[in-house]
Structure 1
Amino acid sequence: MSIVSDYSDGVPSISYCLTTFEGEVIAESGADTPVYAASTIKLAVLIAALRAVDGGKLRLSQQLTSRLTFNSSAPGGGTFSFETDPDETDDGMPPEGRPVSLREVLRRMIVVSSNEATNMAVELVGLDAVRGALAVCGAASSKMERLFGDLEGLAAGLTQQTTARDLTAIMSAIVTGRAAGRSSTRFMVELLRAQEYSLIGPALPAEARWGSKSGWVTGIRHDVAFVQPCGGTDPLGGFILAVCTRAYGEAEATTAIGALSRLAWDLSRTRPGGLHYVLEGPAEEWATG
């Protein structure tokens, strides 16, 4: 039975894009199909924040004030609050009004996909900075027009959108160091490796090293990951895989993403030369660590 929601039209769709680290497409299907981005758009928020850190506008150590109330992006919209919606609050964040570092806000945004932390980060850097981060990555079909939980914005037609191709472009920009500086690249990769809700990673063999960012709402389930083997004769071989699903149930979508993940792994091991990328510059430290 297909799933219909605010984010799914009920027409089942699975799209994917498999690339090398440098962006060479190895396999794809429907890679330019627009889908509701869900939490995968948080990658662009992460890049925007760390580019501001690199530029000296922000510091990871700076203290923010934990918040549950945010501004709607809808024309004439007011504010909205997570106080009445326990599903949106993050128990790992300090109580409202207490200090929390930008480093911790970004960590919770990626590792546990905290919407509360994400909205704090977006209001700090601004939606224009998020758009700029997407442009830097070459993610031309992606956009973030409102915060998470902004129902007035949703009713006004404001959305968060991406494609499988864009997700691989964003991840490529992160892991190759094109999105941010050396220290920020290392920090982003650490967060992606600590991801607690990956769909691609658990489907891979134990020897795989990976980092990912997933996203899900009713009728939507996506993941994008960078993957490398542990050891072997080609320790820098690897790939980036993005899989986006719409209108499938949770179990069906998870099964499909897992199957494509294993196929991508098998292809990376059998393709002549592997999906090889020699990481240089900012990323070389984590690639060989």
Structure 2
Amino acid sequence: MTETPTPAIAFRISRADGDVLAERDPNLPFYPASTVKLAVLAAVGRGLESGALQLDQPVRSTDRFPSLVAGAPDFRILPGDEDPGMPPPGTPMPLAEVAERMIVVSSNEATNLLYDVVGFPAVNQVLADAGAVNSGVHRKFSDLAASRAGLPGNVITARDLGKLMEAVVGGRLADHHWTAWMCDMLSRQELGVIGTRVPTGTRWGSKSGWVDGIQHDVAFIGEPGPTTLVIAVCTRGFDEPQGEQCIAALTDLALAKAQRRDDASNAASS
């Protein structure tokens, strides 16, 4: 029998410069689901900045991936989690398109391809440089053999997820050009909850993540810079509608709190 996880909600509301407006259980660990793709994106951005990677370099599509467990058969993405928009196996794709699918439609296949391009050490270096000290990325999506073998998995906290987004939009992980490239891609994400609560005309970008019983979202709101609002919410133990309601309610509270603080600051300086 599968044990039902104890319901939990953790969040961090901050500015990109690290000023924390509110948080709850910020260091509680969660399975990160697709929010790890934000760290992969930053690792790709760094590779592009250094010249080690090129936007037009070919990455060959595949629907089978080697397990971390020696001797285990190659695996496929779990049924229901596949990306139907990926080209047939063996088709070369520009790196830019692979990154786009990873973020915009949250493709697990595209993410696994990029793990091979940048390597897990580069992804974990991104986390370390962002100050996400309690988080790590160690295996690809759907590597069930590695899970059964008890190999290290992927973990995130609300604090670390917030600090990662702060570092991205604050320009602390890449130069201005590649920071803008990452933020533009996050602004095109087609999934997530936080963005649905943002006032029309306000810029935002996010990376959500979900599996059964897990619902997360992290977003920046406003033009990228040191004062950009960052909201990171992690939930578990709820069904999808309940998880979305939690994220939506916290987003509404965060936007209201940030507005009150801005109003008070403007009044004090006038």
- Tell me whether 1:255 sits opposite 2:249 in the alignment: no
User: Which letter maps to 1:201?
Assistant: G
User: Which secondary structure does the structure 1 equivalent of 2:155 belong to?
Assistant: strand
Change (3 A) 1:185 1:89: same
Name the structure 2 match of 1:144. Answer: 137
Q: Which runs of 5+ in 1 are unaligned?
A: 230-234, 277-289
Q: What TM-score do you get using the length of structure 2 for normalisation?
A: 0.92
Name the structure 1 match of 2:17. Answer: 22
Distance 1:265 1:254 in 2: 16
Q: Which runs of 5+ in 2 are unaligned?
A: none
- Tell me whether 1:61 sits opposite 2:53 in the alignment: no
**1:224-243 equivalent positions in 2, closer than 5 A:** 224-228=218-222, 238-243=228-233
**1:179-190 equivalent positions in 2, closer than 5 A:** 179-190=173-184
Change (3 A) 1:189 1:272: closer
Conserved 8 A contact 1:238-1:268 = no
Conserved 8 A contact 2:16-2:226 = no
Name the structure 1 match of 2:42. Answer: 47
Conserved 8 A contact 1:40-1:214 = yes
- Tell me whether 1:74 sits opposite 2:83 in the alignment: no
Distance 1:222 1:30 in 2: 14
Name the structure 1 match of 2:189. Answer: 195
Distance 1:179 1:147 in 2: 23
- Tell me whether 1:31 sits opposite 2:26 in the alignment: yes
Distance 1:236 1:55 in 2: 24
User: Which secondary structure does the structure 2 equivalent of 1:95 belong to?
Assistant: coil
Distance 1:27 1:269 in 2: 13
* 1:77 shift after superposition: 3.5
* 1:80 shift after superposition: 1.2
2:103 to 90, 106, 110: 110
Distance 1:136 1:40 in 2: 17
Change (3 A) 1:206 1:154: same
* 1:203 shift after superposition: 2.0
Q: Number of residue pairs matched?
A: 264
Conserved 8 A contact 1:20-1:275 = no
Distance 2:160 2:53 in 1: 27
Q: What TM-score do you get using the length of structure 1 for normalisation?
A: 0.86
Name the structure 1 match of 2:83. Answer: 90
**1:154-233 equivalent positions in 2, closer than 5 A:** 154-157=147-150, 158-228=152-222
* 1:75 shift after superposition: 4.9
1:268 to 247, 258, 263: 258
User: Which secondary structure does the structure 2 equivalent of 1:87 belong to?
Assistant: coil
Distance 1:97 1:116 in 2: 13
Conserved 8 A contact 2:27-2:159 = yes
* 1:261 shift after superposition: 0.2
Distance 1:275 1:134 in 2: 32
Choose between structure 1 and 2: higher strand proportion: 1
Distance 1:88 1:265 in 2: 32
CA RMSD, 1 decimal: 2.1
User: Which letter maps to 2:182?
Assistant: M
Identical counterparts, % of pairs:
42
